[in-house]
Amino acid sequence: MQPSHFDVLIIGAGISGIGAGYHLQTKCPGKTYEILEARDALGGTWDLFRYPGVRSDSDMHTLGYAFRPWDNPQSIADGPSILSYLKETAQAYGIERRIRYGHSVENVAWSSDRAQWTVDARRTDSGEAVRLTCRFLLVCAGYYDYAQGYTPDFPGRDRYRGAVVHPQRWSADVVYEGKRVVVIGSGATAVTLVPELAKKAAHVTMLQRSPTYVVSAPGRDPLADWLRRRFSERTSYAVTRWKNVALTMAFYAYCRQSPERAKQILVGQVRRQVGGALDVSTHFTPSYKPWDQRVCLVPDGDLFEAIRSGRASVETDHIASFEETGIRLRSGKLLEADLVVTATGLRLKVLGGLVIEVDGQVVDLSKTMTYKGMMCSGVPNLTFAIGYTNASWTLKCDLTNEYACRLINYMEKRGYTQCCPRKDPAVKEELMINFTSGYVRRAIDQFPRQGTVAPWKLYQNYALDRILLRHASVVDRAMEFR
């Protein structure tokens, strides 16, 4: 019989869940823990997405863990390489032995009387109900809906005789070699798919309603290569990591302080790369300010090279309707297509879709406020890990999991069994993620709010969060210990 009670349960065996396992067993070595994963494999997003060319949208020196250097020379890495890195990490530290696969968590209920969580899960293979209990809960399920992506209701889609696939549902039987392909979308998934599909397709068209900021970066980091030849792996990794953190923070700050100048720089580098292959003002000049939405990263300008070669093109227009052989645009133009890829976005899911109860009452997360970007007001002994919107996901998740360990150790030392942030009614509320992207706007009302002041404010600043989460006291007026 497997044990049913643990000091800590982790929900999700993706990049943040594996990191949580490492931090727990190194910083809280006396605590028992287990990871519940709904899928049959670890890796989360990197195991789910299998579309051609899937890769990181930030450098691996910051997307990788601080405790385990990324030793692959590719700084912007492909999905299979990232998944291998996660598997090797879980095996190297014995974390994989703590994962229960095929356990989909449906409901978690906190009891103040017993000072513990009751976690109800269901086995995906047999449908068997499984009940576990724990003192502390780490939710590392991200915020994407793994069941389905977002696809608009396109007029006339039933008339179309070709194949339609969402990247989240890509499978090995999708045929694009020698085909005319239309990729609907302009975000990170679309700019990844287009150059990869263009290698074998007859032609690929990226169809977008409006342009997105796209920036090119080297697939290999020259400084990292130079450092590896002269210093230890750990030293070269740490230096490159901090260099990339500093550059990312500086670039983001510059974009927010001087948006028009930043826009000129971003659009200018696209213009230099595509030459006269298309009208940059129409197809790569967004109407919004940089970082009002996430900036897309392409390694070694592969998207622009595909456009210059004529193997790919861009159309900026709205869809009037699908027709039998393709897509009719509002301009009247017909895009002939054998395959349509709907890279139209993802669906967000608050804390993995968990139903959370506290002392018999279901918690409406939209009525709570985020404490330090990792806890919800009124919800005891629970942290959640989500990454930055303007930097690598792992940077914030690592800090969150480290802070959870600090909380657990502090409570152990002082004899506390419960910690719970209490919202100050005087603190004004703001949306948790201040992005104009469609995937955010469609679901953000379901998410907890953030406040306008610390500790309720999400600063999206790694250097500041290192101070607040790694070094500042866990005791403040907002946190109640019992």
Mean pLDDT of the chain: 93
Mapping DSSP to helix (H, G, I), strand (E, B) and coil, where does residue 208 land?
strand
Does residue 384 share a domain with residue 301? Answer: no
pLDDT confidence of 282, banded at 50, 70, 90? Answer: very high
Residue 335, phi then psi, degrees to nearest 5: -95, 105
| C-alpha span between 267 and 249 (Å, rounded) | 20
Whether 362 is in a domain gets the answer yes
pLDDT of residue 270: 95
Q: What are the tens digits of pLDDT across the range 16-40?
A: 999 999 999 999 999 999 999 999 9
Does residue 170 share a domain with residue 131? Answer: no
Do 6 and 32 meet the contact criterion of CB atoms below 8 Å apart?
A: yes
Whether 163 is in a domain gets the answer yes
> Using CA of residue 453, residue 457, residue 463, residue 468, what is the dihedral sign?
positive
Last residue of a domain, one of 316, 342, 368: 342
Q: Which domain holds residue 225?
A: 157-342
Instruction: Output the pTM of the full model.
Output: 0.94
Does residue 234 share a domain with residue 382? Answer: no
CA–chain centroid gap for 286, Å, is: 23
Asked if pLDDT for residue 331 goes beyond 90, the answer is: yes
State mean pLDDT over 364-383. Answer: 96
State mean pLDDT over 222-229. Answer: 93
Last residue of a domain, one of 342, 367, 394: 342
pLDDT confidence of 99, banded at 50, 70, 90? Answer: very high
Does residue 162 share a domain with residue 140? Answer: no
pLDDT confidence of 278, banded at 50, 70, 90? Answer: very high
Does residue 213 share a domain with residue 231? Answer: yes
Whether 152 is in a domain gets the answer no
Do 189 and 167 meet the contact criterion of CB atoms below 8 Å apart?
A: yes
pLDDT confidence of 144, banded at 50, 70, 90? Answer: confident
| C-alpha span between 157 and 198 (Å, rounded) | 24
Does residue 12 share a domain with residue 107? Answer: yes
Question: The domain that contains 169 carries what CATH number?
Answer: 3.50.50.60
| C-alpha span between 369 and 447 (Å, rounded) | 9
Structure tokens at 390: 């303007």
Does residue 351 share a domain with residue 440? Answer: yes
Whether 322 is in a domain gets the answer yes
Whether 72 is in a domain gets the answer yes
Could you tell me which residues come within 8 angstroms of residue 476 by beta carbon, excluding any fewer than 6 positions away?
455
pLDDT of residue 477: 92
| C-alpha span between 423 and 452 (Å, rounded) | 12
Does residue 383 share a domain with residue 296? Answer: no
pLDDT of residue 214: 95
pLDDT of residue 436: 67
Does residue 78 share a domain with residue 208? Answer: no
Q: What are the tens digits of pLDDT across the range 123-142?
A: 999 999 999 999 999 999 98
Task: Look up tokens 């201040």; give the residue.
Answer: 434
pLDDT confidence of 324, banded at 50, 70, 90? Answer: very high
Residue 99, phi then psi, degrees to nearest 5: -95, 130
Q: How many domains does the chain have?
A: 2
Beta bridge partners of 327: 322, 335
pLDDT of residue 1: 59
Does residue 164 share a domain with residue 142? Answer: no
Does residue 162 share a domain with residue 219? Answer: yes
Q: What are the tens digits of pLDDT across the range 385-442?
A: 998 888 889 999 999 999 999 999 999 999 999 999 999 889 999 888 777 677 677 7
Do 227 and 240 meet the contact criterion of CB atoms below 8 Å apart?
A: yes
Contacts 24+ apart (CB under 8 A), 279-286: 282/211, 282/316, 283/208, 283/211, 283/314, 283/316, 284/211, 284/214, 284/314, 285/211, 286/210, 286/211, 286/212, 286/213
Does residue 443 share a domain with residue 353? Answer: yes
Last residue of a domain, one of 325, 342, 359: 342
